[in-house]
């Protein structure tokens, strides 16, 4: 392996944003036919590094070489032209265009008189056959599943004759079984002489596919090991800087059912029944886009069920709106804290009272700004929100601090029911621990918690009962510790539902 030529070489890459050093002298070499895993927490500098490779950022120091040729900095097409293809974590596909159109986008000159769809279709079909990437070229991307979209992204790279594939967190959105299929594709690719950079923080997957691991922390390379010479624990320790211990989860003492979905349908859900009990965390696992959003919207009050009933404390709810949900004592932590959870140009104070301004902070239509400010100050103190003050615009806060303010906003009234939709996505490890401990605290105080996450580790670590959602159907609840990742993966892929019905 070590005799194979180097196809991609990054040397001494340094990139600063103001005082923050995002990349600090990073060097990395990828050989032909090799799979290198790039490991690191959120904020370790992986994304910045890739943005430099693809010319979106210009490095302050260092060089990038592909196949022995230096890439000019700041030219997005240079890496593509040199045969380096990237599959972004957030797919860069246009939903209303077809698979073929998405693949053809940006290939060749813009000024060619014709798209040449016929020849392109034949080539795409050949590629999908050779690499085990099944997808219909004339399907609209908007109608594809997440796994299929990823295949389109890989096809896009292969169509451009990529010799190096870079995949950014490719398995975050896949079932374990889809992940296996992806790995088969990658092995086929490597067998044909391609090289792969695999960015991830899921250690068991890294151990499964990579030949070599490069670990980043705080913008530096802190370790480089052959996968064969290491194990998960050692890698985890390298990644966070110390041995990690998963949070100890005390056994739950489940109480009465506080909220119940009774054969609810609508918005893609099919006869979903779900009990949320006091003092218990229910985890909702599943591949993104299988109905999690609908469950979340339903509990948040954004949508009402088309059929079936929502009951709180044994009574069916009436007119179901977000305001009603808040009034019923539901704490709602939304999936997207930037777009749904906060208003970027509002101050912390204004954001803190978004849900309670009617009841607690105004009288007869007049705002009580003093009370609002006191409330915000209380949250800032008790939830350790790092900020210049309550009158700061929230857009200036980090994701973790933003999430803490949301936590404070919804937990301060002492909710009976908590909806936590992807509560730690994109947070650093400190903030993750904080959010999880707050959820556990609320559980122990008697709240019923619904945790929606695409991260099976998070679900399995925190939940007392796990449901899997697939194509709008909900699996039975599985007690903590009764299912393995593989078992859940089968449910996530839709197996088991027919006989469970």
Partner 1 sequence: MRLEPIANPSALRRAGLPLAALGLTVVTASLLALLAGANPFATLGLIVQGAVGTKFAALETLNRATPLIFTGLAVAVAFRARLWNIGAEAQLYAGAVAAVLLGTGAITGPLTLPVMALAAMLAGALVLLGPVMLKTRFGVDEVVTTLLFNFIMLLLVSYLLEGPLKDPMGMGWPKSAALIKEARLPRIVTGLRLHWGFGLALIAALLVWVIQTRTALGYEMRAVGLNPQAARFAGIPVNAVLVKTALLSGGLAALAGFSEVSGLKGNLTLDLSPGFGYTGIIVAMLALLHPLAVIPSALFVAGIFVGADSMSRAAGVPTYIADMLLAFALLFMVLAILLTKVRVVRG
Partner 2 sequence: MEIFDILLSATFWAAAVRIASPLIFATMGELICERAGVLNLGIEGIMVIGAFCGWMAVYQGADLWGGVGVAMGAGMLFGLLHATLTVPFGLSQHVVGLGVTLLATSTSSFAYRLMLPEVTSPPKIEPFAVWPVPGLSEIPLIGPALFQQTPLTYAAFAVAGLTALVLFRTPLGLALRAAGENPAAVDAQGLSVTGLRMGAVIVGSGLMAVGGAFLTLSAFSSFFFEMVNGRGWICIALVVFGAWKPGKAVLGALLFAAFDALQVRMQQTPLGQAVPYQVFLMMPYILSILALILMSRRAEVPAALMTPFNKGER
| Binding footprint of partner 2 on the chain (CB under 8 A) | 55-56, 75-78, 80-81, 86, 88, 90, 92-97, 101-102, 104-115
Q: Using DSSP bridges, classify how beta strands 473-474 and 465-470 pair: parallel, antiparallel or unpaired.
A: antiparallel
Write out the two tokens for 249. 């989860």
Instruction: Check: CB of residue 36 under 8 Å from CB of residue 194.
Output: no
- Residue 233, binding choice from partner 1, partner 2, none, Cβ under 5 to 8 Å by partner class: none
- Residue 434, binding choice from partner 2, partner 1, none, Cβ under 5 to 8 Å by partner class: none
Comparing CB distances to partner 1, the nearer of 253 and 395 is 395
Instruction: Check: CB of residue 137 under 8 Å from CB of residue 100.
Output: yes
Assess 129 for contact with partner 1 (CB under 8 A).
no
- According to CB under 8 A, which residues from 137 to 196 bind partner 1? none
CB of 90 to partner 2, least distance (A): 7
Closest CA to 331 of 432, 439, 427, 424: 439
Question: Residues of 235-273 as b/e, b for ≥16 C-beta within 10 angstroms?
Answer: bbebbbeeeeeeeeeeebebeebbbbbeebebbebbebe
- According to CB under 8 A, which residues from 282 to 341 bind partner 1? 300-302, 321-323, 325-326, 332, 334, 339-341
Handedness of CA 170, 173, 175, 176 (dihedral sign): positive
Comparing CB distances to partner 1, the nearer of 15 and 443 is 15
Assess 423 for contact with partner 1 (CB under 8 A).
no
Report the alpha-carbon distance of residue 405 to residue 387 in Å, rounded: 10
Write out the two tokens for 157. 């790279």
CB of 212 to partner 2, least distance (A): 27
Assess 345 for contact with partner 1 (CB under 8 A).
yes
Site string for partner 1, 56-95 (x = CB under 8 A): -xx---------------x---------------------
Comparing CB distances to partner 2, the nearer of 88 and 202 is 88
Write out the two tokens for 472. 């709008």
Comparing CB distances to partner 1, the nearer of 421 and 475 is 421
Comparing CB distances to partner 1, the nearer of 32 and 351 is 351
- Residue 101, binding choice from partner 1, partner 2, none, Cβ under 5 to 8 Å by partner class: partner 2
Assess 365 for contact with partner 1 (CB under 8 A).
yes
Report the alpha-carbon distance of residue 459 to residue 284 in Å, rounded: 7
- Residue 212, binding choice from partner 2, partner 1, none, Cβ under 5 to 8 Å by partner class: none
What is the SS3 assignment for 207-219? HHHCCEEEEEECC
Instruction: Check: CB of residue 62 under 8 Å from CB of residue 10.
Output: yes
CB of 349 to partner 1, least distance (A): 11
Instruction: Tell me the longest C-alpha to C-alpha distance in the chain.
Output: 78
CB of 389 to partner 1, least distance (A): 12
Report the alpha-carbon distance of residue 4 to residue 224 in Å, rounded: 18
Question: CA-CA distances (angstroms) from residue 55 to 16, 64, 73, 160, 220?
Answer: 15, 10, 6, 17, 20
Instruction: Check: CB of residue 282 under 8 Å from CB of residue 274.
Output: yes
Assess 367 for contact with partner 1 (CB under 8 A).
yes
Comparing CB distances to partner 2, the nearer of 96 and 245 is 96
Comparing CB distances to partner 1, the nearer of 325 and 407 is 325
Comparing CB distances to partner 2, the nearer of 95 and 391 is 95
Instruction: Please name every residue paired with 312 in a beta bridge, in sequence order, or none if there are none.
Output: 259, 315
DSSP H helices in 288-365? 292-300, 322-327, 348-352
Cα 333 to chain centroid, rounded: 15
Assess 398 for contact with partner 1 (CB under 8 A).
no
- Residue 396, binding choice from partner 1, partner 2, none, Cβ under 5 to 8 Å by partner class: partner 1
- Residue 354, binding choice from partner 2, partner 1, none, Cβ under 5 to 8 Å by partner class: partner 1
Report the alpha-carbon distance of residue 289 to residue 293 in Å, rounded: 7
Binding site for partner 1 (CB under 8 A): 57-58, 74, 300-302, 321-323, 325-326, 332, 334, 339-346, 350, 354-355, 357-358, 362, 365-367, 395-396
């Amino acid at each position: 392996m070590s005799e194979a030529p180097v196809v991609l070489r990054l040397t001494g890459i340094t990139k600063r944003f103001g005082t923050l050093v995002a990349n600090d002298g990073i060097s990395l070499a990828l050989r032909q036919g090799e799979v290198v895993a790039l490991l690191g927490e959120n904020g370790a500098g992986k994304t910045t590094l890739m943005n430099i490779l693809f010319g979106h950022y210009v490095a302050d120091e260092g060089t990038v070489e592909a196949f022995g040729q230096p890439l000019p900095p700041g030219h997005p097409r240079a890496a593509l032209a040199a045969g380096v293809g990237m599959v972004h974590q957030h797919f860069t596909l246009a939903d209303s265009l077809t698979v073929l159109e998405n693949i053809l986008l940006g290939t060749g000159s813009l000024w060619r008189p014709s798209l040449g769809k016929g020849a392109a279709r034949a080539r795409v079909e050949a590629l999908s056959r050779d690499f085990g990437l099944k997808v219909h070229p004339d399907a609209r991307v908007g109608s594809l599943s997440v796994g299929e979209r990823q295949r389109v992204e890989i096809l896009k790279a292969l169509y451009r004759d990529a010799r190096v594939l870079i995949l950014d967190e490719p398995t975050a959105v896949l079932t374990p079984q889809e992940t296996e299929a992806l790995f088969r594709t990658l092995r086929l690719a490597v067998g044909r002489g391609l090289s792969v950079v695999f960015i991830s923080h899921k250690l068991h997957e890294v151990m499964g596919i990579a030949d070599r691991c490069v670990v980043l922390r705080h913008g530096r390379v802190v370790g480089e090991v052959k996968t064969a010479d290491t194990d998960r624990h050692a890698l985890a320790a390298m990644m966070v800087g110390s041995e990690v211990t998963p949070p100890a989860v005390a056994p739950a003492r489940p109480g009465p059912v506080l909220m119940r979905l009774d054969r609810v349908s609508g918005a893609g859900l099919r006869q979903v029944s779900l009990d949320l009990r006091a003092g218990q965390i229910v985890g909702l696992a599943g591949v993104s886009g299988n109905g999690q959003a609908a469950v979340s919207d339903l509990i948040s009050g954004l949508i009402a069920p088309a059929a079936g009933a929502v009951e709180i404390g044994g009574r069916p709810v009436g007119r179901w709106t977000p305001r009603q949900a808040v009034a019923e004592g539901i704490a709602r932590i939304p999936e997207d804290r930037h777009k749904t959870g906060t208003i970027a140009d509002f101050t912390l104070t204004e954001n803190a009272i978004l849900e309670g301004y009617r009841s607690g902070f105004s009288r007869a239509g007049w705002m009580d700004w003093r009370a609002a400010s006191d409330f915000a100050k209380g949250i800032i103190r008790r939830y350790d929100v790092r900020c210049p003050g309550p009158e700061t615009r929230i857009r200036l806060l980090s994701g973790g601090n933003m999430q803490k303010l949301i936590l404070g906003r919804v937990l301060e009234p002492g909710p009976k029911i908590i909806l936590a939709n992807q509560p730690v996505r994109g947070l650093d490890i400190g903030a993750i621990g904080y959010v999880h401990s707050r959820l556990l605290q609320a559980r122990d105080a008697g709240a019923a918690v619904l945790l929606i996450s695409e991260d099976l580790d998070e679900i399995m670590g925190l939940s007392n009962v796990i449901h899997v959602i697939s194509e709008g159907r909900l699996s039975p609840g599985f007690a903590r510790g009764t299912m393995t990742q593989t078992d859940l993966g089968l449910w996530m892929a839709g197996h088991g539902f027919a006989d469970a019905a």
